[in-house]
């Protein structure tokens, strides 16, 4: 990879950084989800502040060579089953410059070592790049092929990967 990677839990003072990166993240999904920008020119996003108030929510930032490269929002509860013992990758974003450089895989490796146990990763139907990324990275990390199961969640179809890290 040749990049110095720094993966760390975001402080409350860095909440605005994740909020800014979320705008880029949501932009990528705006056509798939039919989301419009609001009157202030920003995409809507609610609930980020809960990541610093709720012990089951974990906000992470990562940098490559000291430059912001993305974020991960992890929660302890299955969105599919409600199981409170499942780690859920709520959102994961890598800045375009760092995609296909190994940064995303390295971050996931770090997070899977930190958050051990059962996991779920949901990929919105039609997000083929993400589906390919997650299929590859989970299979490598778990040393077994993992396939997503089509699942309807809140009226939208997701490919849901279920697996366990150790």
d(CA 22, CA 92) in angstroms, rounded, equals 10
State pLDDT tens for residues 6-64: 999 999 999 999 999 999 999 998 888 889 999 999 998 889 999 999 999 999 999 99
Q: What is the pLDDT of residue 143?
A: 85
Determine the Cα angle at 119 with ends 117 and 125, to 5°.
170
Is the model more confident about 9 or about 142? 9
148 near 162, Cβ under 8 Å? no
Strand partners, 88: 75, 120
Question: Residue with structure tokens 């932009």?
Answer: 27
Quick one: pLDDT at residue 31? Answer: 87
What pLDDT is stored for residue 1 in this prediction?
57
Give the pLDDT confidence of 63-89 residue by residue, as tens digits. Answer: 999 999 999 999 999 999 999 999 999
- pLDDT at position 96 is 94
Average pLDDT over residues 144-158: 92
- Return the domain boundaries, the chain: 5-165
State the CATH class of domain 5-165: alpha beta
Q: Report the C-alpha gap between 25 and 19 in whole angstroms.
A: 10
What would the mean pLDDT of 107-135 be, rounded to a whole number?
95
| In the predicted structure, residue 105 carries a pLDDT above the cut 80 | yes
């Amino acid at each position: 990879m040749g990049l110095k990677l720094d993966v760390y839990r975001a402080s409350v003072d860095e909440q605005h950084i994740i909020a800014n990166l979320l705008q880029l993240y949501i932009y990528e999904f705006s056509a798939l989800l039919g989301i419009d920008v609001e009157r202030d020119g920003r995409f809507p996003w609610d609930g980020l502040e809960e990541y610093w108030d709720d012990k089951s929510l974990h906000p992470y930032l990562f940098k490559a060579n000291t430059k912001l490269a993305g974020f991960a929002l992890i929660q302890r509860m299955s969105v599919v089953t409600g199981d409170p013992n499942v780690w859920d990758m709520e959102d994961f974003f890598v800045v375009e410059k760092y995609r296909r450089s190994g940064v995303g895989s390295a971050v996931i490796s770090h997070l899977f070592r930190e958050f051990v146990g059962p996991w779920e990763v949901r990929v919105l139907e039609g997000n083929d790049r993400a589906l390919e990324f997650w299929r590859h990275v989970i299979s490598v990390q778990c040393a077994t092929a993992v396939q997503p199961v089509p699942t309807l969640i809140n009226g939208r179809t997701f490919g849901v990967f279920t697996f366990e890290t150790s």
